[in-house]
Structure 1
Amino acid sequence: MALFKKNKEMETESLSAEQILEKYDRESTYRRNLGKWAWVVTFIGVYLTLFHLYTGFRGAFASQIQGPIHLGTALGLIFLLYPAKKGLHRKQKGVPWYDVILAFTALFVGYYNVIFYEELVTERIIFGYNTLDVIVASLGVLLVLEAARRSVGLPIVIVASIAILYAMFGNFIPTKLFAHRGFSWETVVTDLYLTTKGIYSTPIQVSSTFIFLFLLFGVILIKTGVGQFFNDLAFALTGRFTGGQAKAAVVASLMQGMVSGSSVANTVGSGSFTIPMMKKAGYRPEFAAATEASASTGGQIMPPIMGAAAFIMAMYTETPYSFVMLAAIIPALLYFSGVFLGVHFESKKLGIVGVSSSELPSIKQLLLKRGYLILPLIVIFYTLLSGRTPMRAALIAIFVSFVVGLFQRETRLTPMKLLKAFEEGARTALPVIAACGSAGIIVGVIVQTGLGARIANGVIALGSGMVITTLFFTMIASLILGMGLPTTANYIVTASMAAPALVLGLDVPVLAAHMFVFYFGIVADITPPVSLAAYAGAGLARANPFKTGLTAFKLATAAYIIPYIFVIHPELILIDAQPLSLIISVITALLGMVGISSSMIGYFARQTVKWERFALFVGGMSLIIPNVYISVAGLLILVSVYFVQSKRPKDERKDTGVTAMG
């Protein structure tokens, strides 16, 4: 088992993993040295978790009670945990007095809606809001923005602030497309904070019911040791084959993606182990980092948990989450197949062989000794598919994870460990809650001003009413927003503005339109020039960040093609799918991934010349399109290129004009 002993290089890389995570993931920049405030943070965090466990079992309160408790408690924790400036989280000892004031102010304004719930939903609607209501609403909006800046980053605050300014001064806009009558500050903030039209709209409602419990499930499941089990199982399954080290990284990230929905966190968590191993095997640092980043980014589209935005998608599209989960399976497998095949062809190109079987763990022994660790995932799949609500499914899965942890002494959750797990679950949810609250501001303004319909009409006009051009402009908008906004907020914004253009203007199925913007919001993490997951991987690999981003873009090319296909042919996401045609479509799409991946890498049966790369790409694209005649033509192209290359001597190296991965 020499393969799994940490060598000097791995130790050096893993030591810097936390610093890299803090650099590229704003969510990780929380205070470590809380001093006397540590017990307060633990108390509030455990309380927040117990509240969600209770409502998961009992059923959620009214949205204007559930949401404010959820958000107000989270805001209090954010101001205690996240400093005003990014670099202070390690320098400061304890919590400054001004953050204590902000924390308790946030708790007060959050619980204000709960305390005065009856008045807010009855008297205030008839007689209007009083001065205290306006003050609290103003503080609430400002505190949500500041909490988001600290825990998520500045871009979402800028977008939300522009939205507020637009709501107030829309009457000064000269163009008829975006102009509206304008609203006063009092009207804007009370609508955003004291009703369910803004901050407490769908994003926070979903966050306060489904998302928190699923994040807690992920935290408890990781404490059972499932992460290391996934790594070991991935190496056992793929390690002996060509490029086994890199293929194991892809498979491990696929499996861990079923639990965690963060691109950067997945990249750093898995990459601190897999990237040094890939470099040692002979891969270039940029390729090793790009492989991990591409595979980790795909975790957000891998059922059952996916990214937090998937739960909001279920609410927006009025689709059961169980169907959203099933609809995502084929696109997710195609995505990972593309990355896996890219790794295979790069390994063949470089002549990197697998690991000796004697150095790999036994699959049989792994499953016998630790196979029970996948039981919570099986349970959550089953409970969701059996028709139970996501809240109840998550609750059952949390309980099963706790029981599974009892099987080994080191993973057994003692009362103190359980309290820490509850605190960690709350802390993990904080950036998602802040992002949902800020996105709620944007949604509220869109509803208040009618901006969504205006932008939808603009997108349709820009695309000249054609599906492909409209999809292209929607993709660009999703990618640009995704470069600054977290996936959840990006999806909420694009679902409110861009998706309606596809649904209302082009008759695209609702789920297909929302899945389209969801995908492109995710792959923004590996799209240059701002590809945070790729940059995080580059930090671990000591690689060039921009070249790593380009390489990740090429490896994950499938992610930029598949959404177009399932919009045009929605059977790939199980809409009106017939079993036989679906099976044929999946098989041809997988063959298409072979052509596209080999084209991107520059290797098929042999190293390719330029015309072969072009032919392979055309053939691959033709196979992905669910049309029998086009697919047959694509297959003939691939077979022809293979036949031509097979006649070429193995040791012959043609000048392709590019290095590995271009």
Structure 2
Amino acid sequence: MRKLAGYAGFVVGLVAVTMSVYHVYARLTTYAPDQQALLYITLAFSLVLSFLLWPRSKGATPDLVPWADLALAGLSLACIGYMFWNYNYIVNRFPTADALTRVDMMVGITATLLVLEATRRTIGAALPIVAIVFLFYGFAGPWLYGWTYHRGLTLEITVDQVYFTTEGIFGVPMTVAATYVILFIIFGTFLEKSGAGQFFMNFANAIAGGARGGPGKVAVVSSSLFGTISGSAVANVMVDGWLTIPMMKKTGFKPEAAAAIEAVASTGGQIMPPIMGAAAFVMAEFQGVSYTQVMIAAAIPALFYYGALFAAIHFNAVRSGLKGIPREELPILGHIMLRQGHLFLPVIVLLVLLLYGFTPTYGAIIATVALVGISWLRPSTGLNWRDCLEGLREGAVQTVPVAMACASAGIVIGIVLQTGLALRFTAFLIDFTYGSLMPALLITMVAGVILGMGMPTTPAYIMQAALLVPALMKLGVEPMAAHMFAFYFSCLSAVTPPVALAVYAAASIGGAGLWASGVQAMKFAAAGFIVPFFFVYNPALLFQGPWLEILGAVLSGTIGVIALAASLEGYFLRVATWFERALFLAAALLLIDPGLVTDAIGIGLLIIALLLQKLWTPQSMIAREASS
């Protein structure tokens, strides 16, 4: 991204601040333009900032905006301006029935190409390539066969669907970016400006730094808290990792383990309530439910994810004989809370507002305003007007990649809807799996991981929501469970080799091997790969059902993820044999799956494993200890 200074920096900063202020204004007043106009304005701002801040290639001049990019920004404004010039005609016409004029065609094609190029600049080439493939699929329908066949789309229908309807670029994903995502990103930037990131790190050090494997546990606590600031796993790694990874290595963690811990902990920020990744807001919109329902449904799986990671770090540290950070190097919890503890209050305000039924948009705005006031409880954290302007600027800039990803994903959604691909693919998948749920889940898991390797979580999830989630629901999966399943594996692609972006970022900081770090990350993130299968079969893990059943699922599942960590790390009371690890694994799978019978068998297997650990030491271990 360009680092602009002087007049150019001022102009771009003014555009970004205006974008943020307008979106706050649009949610607070009834005088703002309607929803369709808001989407046009969001895309206009996003396209302009894309071409002004993101260069055409990495080798471009980093502090200069070339004339070509200025021309693209101007062309973007012209395309959106055309929509406003003909606003009444566009919003009142019958899409794909009323013919497009030649000028309509030129504007639609140009705007689509601008969206694809802006997306390539901001998040990479993978999503634009996927969108182009779907566009060609729309044209190639008559030459295909089987479930891929369709009558084919003309160029006019394609342009109409993609740009002039509310089921293409200006569809649900873009709506979410324009209404929810930008406001929560602004809240996160204000929180960061107040010093909350450093506070979360100090808080985590104070409560966990002195324990065995303390720096690893600090990474878990701080990264889960930092999820309220950043919805990106890689961004989380780059902020937290520079502190946590060297600390872990200093206290004895292997570089691969340190990188894996930070990558897995940072990835969990997207699934950790109260503020999850942008895809969670899209999920709520697709299902027609409130974001609060999504947040509540995600709570137990997030608890299991981080609980398993915490336990795995502990067993890894004990097995390796690692210590925590010396007490004299740790911050004192009381002092930290006295000086900066008030920075928890804005997050609590947001959580309370959401739980009391406020919309996410109003909740984010009120929490941001409260944050500015609360920050002045201590002069050292007080946000001045420069901090606020910088927070508004960064909020807009960080929104741009999300908005462009949503716009390009909208192209795919538009083609899927116009060609009827979703219905045919659902029928194909059911036939292919012979109506069996488990193969369909495995296909969805693999698809989520593969899609997430080349693009951010949000478009990866959107692709699955369009093609795979309907098949899962057709096979009897509850809508929330089906969407959450796809969402989870879109997130976990960040730690799944061969393209594990969060692992790559952490390994580069820690000087660790990529494959070794990736394999270790998959072990640490094991609960994330297993729990989604269980909440599909038992929605109690998503807070659906009687309270007694939910509490039982939480209790048994918590024990289960600890047993899972013991199995994968090969340690509980002592180093475990392969037989004991198998017992721990079987117990874990049975306990994570809610049910009286499975819980009883799981507890029995766990007791056997613990008794073996306590009462019996294999001769090979005795010999090894004697020789050492």
Range of TM-score over shorter length = over 0.9
What's the offset of the Cα at 1:360?
A: 2.1
The residue type equivalent to 1:141 in the other structure is: T
Q: Which residue of 1 aligns with 2:334?
A: 364
Which of 613, 617, 621 matches 2:589?
A: 621
Determine the C-alpha separation between the residues in 1 that align with 2:523 and 2:553. 23
What's the offset of the Cα at 1:123?
A: 5.1
Which of 526, 541, 561 matches 1:593?
A: 561
Which of 54, 57, 65 matches 1:82?
A: 54
Matched, 1:642 2:610: yes
Matched, 1:148 2:116: no
**CA contact 1:64–1:114 (8 Å) conserved in 2:** no
What's the offset of the Cα at 1:609?
A: 1.7
**CA contact 1:69–1:111 (8 Å) conserved in 2:** no
**CA contact 2:591–2:599 (8 Å) conserved in 1:** yes
The 5-angstrom pairing of residues 338-349 of structure 1 reads 338-349=308-319
Q: Give 3-state SS (helix, strand or coil) of 2:137's partner.
A: helix
Answer with 485-494 or 630-639: which moved more: 630-639
Q: Which residue of 2 aligns with 1:609?
A: 577
Q: Which residue of 1 aligns with 2:548?
A: 580
Determine the C-alpha separation between the residues in 2 that align with 1:260 and 1:182. 41
Matched, 1:166 2:166: no
The 5-angstrom pairing of residues 514-533 of structure 1 reads 514-533=483-502
**CA contact 2:274–2:351 (8 Å) conserved in 1:** yes
Q: Which residue of 2 aligns with 1:128?
A: 99
Determine the C-alpha separation between the residues in 1 that align with 2:227 and 2:63. 35
The residue type equivalent to 2:140 in the other structure is: F
TM-score normalised by the chain length of structure 1: 0.91
Which of 306, 315, 323 matches 2:293?
A: 323
Which of 217, 223, 245 matches 1:275?
A: 245
**Alpha carbons of structure 1 residues 107 and 409: separation in structure 2 relative to 1, 3 Å:** farther
Determine the C-alpha separation between the residues in 1 that align with 2:157 and 2:438. 40
The residue type equivalent to 1:377 in the other structure is: V
**Cα offsets for 1:203-222 (capped at 9, x unmatched):** 00111111110111101011
Matched, 1:196 2:203: no
**CA contact 2:342–2:375 (8 Å) conserved in 1:** no
Q: Which residue of 2 aligns with 1:427?
A: 397
Q: Which residue of 1 aligns with 2:506?
A: 537
Q: Which residue of 2 aligns with 1:3?
A: none
The residue type equivalent to 2:52 in the other structure is: L
The runs of 4+ residues in structure 1 deviating greater than 6 Å are none
Which of 58, 68, 90 matches 2:40?
A: 68
Determine the C-alpha separation between the residues in 2 that align with 1:651 and 1:141. 69
TM-score normalised by the chain length of structure 2: 0.96
Which of 314, 320, 345 matches 1:375?
A: 345
**CA contact 2:256–2:517 (8 Å) conserved in 1:** yes
Determine the C-alpha separation between the residues in 2 that align with 1:652 and 1:483. 42
What's the offset of the Cα at 1:463?
A: 1.9
Determine the C-alpha separation between the residues in 2 that align with 1:80 and 1:604. 55
The 5-angstrom pairing of residues 492-511 of structure 1 reads 492-504=462-474, 506-511=475-480
What's the offset of the Cα at 1:461?
A: 1.9
**Alpha carbons of structure 1 residues 464 and 124: separation in structure 2 relative to 1, 3 Å:** closer
The root-mean-square deviation of aligned C-alpha atoms, in Å, is: 1.8
The residue type equivalent to 1:508 in the other structure is: V
The residue type equivalent to 1:122 in the other structure is: N
**Alpha carbons of structure 1 residues 561 and 654: separation in structure 2 relative to 1, 3 Å:** farther
What's the offset of the Cα at 1:161?
A: 0.3
Q: Give 3-state SS (helix, strand or coil) of 1:522's partner.
A: helix
**CA contact 1:64–1:113 (8 Å) conserved in 2:** no
**Alpha carbons of structure 1 residues 34 and 461: separation in structure 2 relative to 1, 3 Å:** farther
Determine the C-alpha separation between the residues in 2 that align with 1:478 and 1:654. 46
Q: Give 3-state SS (helix, strand or coil) of 1:607's partner.
A: coil
The residue type equivalent to 2:571 in the other structure is: Y
Determine the C-alpha separation between the residues in 2 that align with 1:72 and 1:599. 52
Determine the C-alpha separation between the residues in 1 that align with 2:465 and 2:502. 23
What's the offset of the Cα at 1:652?
A: 7.4
Q: Give 3-state SS (helix, strand or coil) of 1:561's partner.
A: helix
Determine the C-alpha separation between the residues in 2 that align with 1:630 and 1:511. 24
**Cα offsets for 1:297-329 (capped at 9, x unmatched):** 000001111000100100101111111111111
What's the offset of the Cα at 1:249?
A: 1.1
What's the offset of the Cα at 1:368?
A: 2.3
What's the offset of the Cα at 1:127?
A: 4.5
Q: Which residue of 2 aligns with 1:565?
A: 534
**Alpha carbons of structure 1 residues 87 and 622: separation in structure 2 relative to 1, 3 Å:** farther
Q: Which residue of 2 aligns with 1:236?
A: 206
Q: Give 3-state SS (helix, strand or coil) of 1:483's partner.
A: helix
Q: Which residue of 2 aligns with 1:437?
A: 407
Determine the C-alpha separation between the residues in 1 that align with 2:295 and 2:483. 13
**CA contact 2:202–2:331 (8 Å) conserved in 1:** yes
Determine the C-alpha separation between the residues in 2 that align with 1:281 and 1:357. 13
Q: Which residue of 1 aligns with 2:323?
A: 353
Q: Give 3-state SS (helix, strand or coil) of 2:148's partner.
A: coil
Determine the C-alpha separation between the residues in 1 that align with 2:319 and 2:619. 11
**Cα offsets for 1:544-571 (capped at 9, x unmatched):** 0111111010000000011111110001
Query: How many positions carry a matched residue from both structures?
Result: 622
Answer with 235-244 or 154-163: which moved more: 235-244
**CA contact 1:239–1:245 (8 Å) conserved in 2:** yes
Which of 249, 252, 262 matches 2:219?
A: 249
Q: Which residue of 1 aligns with 2:601?
A: 633
**Alpha carbons of structure 1 residues 168 and 346: separation in structure 2 relative to 1, 3 Å:** same
**CA contact 1:525–1:532 (8 Å) conserved in 2:** yes
The residue type equivalent to 1:279 in the other structure is: K
Determine the C-alpha separation between the residues in 2 that align with 1:452 and 1:299. 30
**CA contact 2:342–2:377 (8 Å) conserved in 1:** no
**Cα offsets for 1:364-389 (capped at 9, x unmatched):** 22222211101110111111111111
**CA contact 1:245–1:354 (8 Å) conserved in 2:** yes
Determine the C-alpha separation between the residues in 2 that align with 1:266 and 1:299. 8
The 5-angstrom pairing of residues 284-303 of structure 1 reads 284-303=254-273
Answer with 274-283 or 455-464: which moved more: 455-464
What's the offset of the Cα at 1:348?
A: 0.8
The residue type equivalent to 2:82 in the other structure is: Y
Structure 2 residues without counterparts, runs of 5 or longer: none
Determine the C-alpha separation between the residues in 1 that align with 2:618 and 2:283. 50
Answer with 642-651 or 56-65: which moved more: 642-651
Q: Which residue of 2 aligns with 1:6?
A: none
Q: Give 3-state SS (helix, strand or coil) of 1:468's partner.
A: helix
Determine the C-alpha separation between the residues in 1 that align with 2:171 and 2:622. 59
Q: Give 3-state SS (helix, strand or coil) of 1:177's partner.
A: helix
**Cα offsets for 1:568-610 (capped at 9, x unmatched):** 00011112x2122211111111111111111111111111122
What's the offset of the Cα at 1:471?
A: 0.8
**CA contact 1:459–1:473 (8 Å) conserved in 2:** no
**Alpha carbons of structure 1 residues 341 and 114: separation in structure 2 relative to 1, 3 Å:** same
**Alpha carbons of structure 1 residues 414 and 239: separation in structure 2 relative to 1, 3 Å:** closer
Structure 1 residues without counterparts, runs of 5 or longer: 1-29, 657-662
The residue type equivalent to 2:434 in the other structure is: S
Which of 18, 22, 27 matches 1:56?
A: 27
**Alpha carbons of structure 1 residues 416 and 353: separation in structure 2 relative to 1, 3 Å:** closer
**Cα offsets for 1:103-143 (capped at 9, x unmatched):** 11112212322232101123575742211111111011000
What's the offset of the Cα at 1:640?
A: 1.3
Q: Which residue of 1 aligns with 2:84?
A: 114
Answer with 601-610 or 456-465: which moved more: 456-465
